[in-house]
Chain A
């Protein structure tokens, strides 16, 4: 009996058109394209990296959410809400609140013109950036650059937020839902992966003089990468573009003093010997970092007491003399600080110091925590003349220490000296692209190659050292997925569709009535009114039945 019934049911299914529809529908759903993109922005994800086993930045990348705006909307912990906020409006506390509320996403609009921001807002942004880099979160955080389209989207969200906030009655809210638009942001980035082939490249160039000084070189060191919450937005003008520029300029200036001949043999020896022993002989390491943060200050950071008669002492004294001679308004201060290994933020020279090498860092920052990893640090942030002046001082002091000149500040002059134009063009080159470590970590990176080429122009021979993080026990891990696309869609809430359904139902009802009573319309329009027309009229039904009803619906 059950079998018979089943057979019947099967027959019904087979003959029914809806059965085919049921079969076809999932196929249609799966093959249909999902969206038509309307507005696309390139977006930069907050940095993600691991250092000494702890994570920094964000691990989130997924974004497919309706938006709310800040300030203006209440902060609600919801897995479907993403908050859009301008960088200038965002404070550290707001950011922390957002993370605590476990919102589903944060999109930060970065102003198009970063160099014009100043004063309190600049400090606020820099404070926020440090907080972002110090924290770790799973909330996806994106930066998008302000464009006209971004502003349009922002305006749409803002209007939506305002009308929702102001609407006091339920009816007004409903009206807004039907009338206004929401915005849904969708990110194209997949989940970030560890960059397994990341490497950090160091470039070394050498200027070789006489035999005696050859064995006790002076090392000038600086890091050329930069840091900011968004990898693609870290142009690092001051930190540490200024250091890199200064180093290249020093190489250029000193290259005039060294002959290029007869060095090939020495260099071959150099390459053969391990660089460790080479380093042990180093008389002094001078690290350059963030030279233009304070325009009229230059700090010399040391980690040990300065003894009389050492190269270190001579150099510092010469630095002071050179400053007085060249830039009387500029003060040189020596800061002694014991190395604290647990601190992540440290000066570069401390690394050398741990290897028992005399090392100092020259910087215009008082402490490493004041070196801002900021995306505000663009080329315009650097005062080229100031940088040139400071480079000149370092060059003079170096020359005086190397050649035991008593009259400091006269070694370089005219075309041989540090020139503003050269500093400017070098700065332009260095800040021409973002130099976040993970962006430079690829093999055969173009920027590193060209940096090496510049150094090779001024020094006798350059070599490239590669540092690869250990795969099993890495204390530095980079993640990819630094940039992607965010697409903004206009959307309506679900209520809108319900209201629309009601309107359509009313309209269809009107159409139905018009078709049912079409004979009335037909009669009123027909040429001759006679009873024989009634049949015809009911058939022509469709003709203008729908348009009358449309007029009603309108």
Chain B
């Protein structure tokens, strides 16, 4: 397609981030560099995750490096189990988010928003931008770049939600009965992508429908998070 199409994809992916930053009051706090710092922490977290993945998880088909592969994973034949363990590495994101939050001063809402938006923007730039750049500008048209841009919007909600949940977990004035809810929400947030992927693969759902399912689930989780959040803030 054309450069114009690439522009469309980028507009779809980026503008909501920009609007969220501009109109949520973050720009008034001058939180730009905080966002960038969060992005750095995001990159560092991903690097650690990749190191762990590359070290401990055997690539199917390639020769096993017995010296470094964990024994526990050597016998894992079921790809689902393997995928589950791989997704579990994403729990590190929660730790990364915690570190990011601890480095941002200020009140709860600006903390969560800065961390969420910074994290999401970094993800967009580091993992999606290049794909869209290469793909959407190529001759071939494919809906998947539009879908990917749209998915970036859903991710923004997810990341802000994760930031809010991690922040809530670190607070002491949350009602004790809410702690399990917070933890469950955070863990669902981590495994959500995997669950939706498995579900849509198993029942042969087209990408658009699975995107809508993702959207609905994220909206629902977001609603719950706001409910818990509003008890504290």
Contacts and interface: CB of A to CB of B under 8 A. Distances in A.
Interface string A495-530: 001001100100110011001101000100111100
Interface string A9-25: 00000000000000000
Interface stretch (B54-62, B68-76, B218-226): B218-226
B135 A508 contact: no
Interface string A513-554: 001101000100111100001011011111111111011001
A34 B141 contact: no
Nearest to A36: B138
Interface in B203-232: 212, 215-216, 218-219, 222-223, 225-231
B2 interface: yes
A27 interface: no
Contact of B161 (A536, A538, A543): A543
A539 B146 CA distance: 28
B153 A538 contact: no
A490 B230 CA distance: 49
A545 B116 CA distance: 14
B23 A491 contact: no
A508 B5 contact: no
Contacts of A515: 19-20, 23-24
Contacts of B212: 554
Nearest to B5: A497
B148 interface: no
A511 to B, nearest CB: 5
Given A538-B25, A539-B110, A541-B20, A36 B140 contact: yes
A550 B153 contact: yes
A28 interface: yes
A126 interface: no
Nearest to B140: A489
A554 B215 contact: yes
A507 B15 CA distance: 10
B109 interface: yes
B233 A35 contact: no
B153 to A, nearest CB: 5
Interface string B119-143: 0000000000000011101111110
A384 interface: no
Q: Identify the interface centre among A29, A535, A540, A542: most chain B CB within 10 Å of its CB.
A: A542
B186 interface: no
Nearest to B138: A35
A544 B222 contact: yes
Contacts of A508: 11-12, 15-16, 19
B226 A544 contact: yes
Contacts of B233: 533, 536, 540
Given A539-B25, A550-B215, A36 B227 contact: no
A33 interface: yes
A545 B229 CA distance: 15
Contact of B157 (A36, A184, A539, A547): A547
A297 interface: no
B112 interface: yes
B53 interface: no
Interface residues of B, number: 57
B37 interface: no
Interface residues of A, number: 50
B8 A543 contact: no
A170 interface: no
A34 B20 contact: no
Contact of A491 (B1, B19, B134, B230): B1
Contact of A545 (B20, B112, B134, B164): B20
A492 interface: yes
Contacts of A527: 227-228, 230-231
Contact of A511 (B8, B16, B222, B225): B16
Contacts of A37: 140
A551 B140 CA distance: 29
B23 A516 contact: yes
A540 B113 contact: yes
Contacts of A536: 108-109, 230, 233
A186 B138 CA distance: 12
Q: 10 nearest interchain CB pairs?
A: A539-B109, A526-B230, A542-B20, A541-B24, A544-B222, A547-B219, A489-B140, A35-B138, A536-B233, A489-B139
Given A541-B113, A544-B226, A550-B219, 6 more contacts: A489-B141, A525-B226, A536-B109, A542-B20, A543-B226, A547-B218
Interface of B: 1-5, 8, 11-12, 15-16, 19-21, 23-25, 107-110, 112-113, 116-117, 133-135, 137-142, 146, 150, 153-154, 156-157, 160-161, 164, 212, 215-216, 218-219, 222-223, 225-231, 233
25 contacts: A34-B137, A38-B140, A181-B141, A184-B139, A186-B139, A491-B139, A491-B141, A494-B2, A504-B12, A508-B11, A512-B19, A515-B20, A515-B23, A522-B230, A525-B227, A526-B227, A526-B230, A527-B227, A533-B230, A533-B233, A543-B113, A544-B219, A546-B16, A550-B219, A554-B215
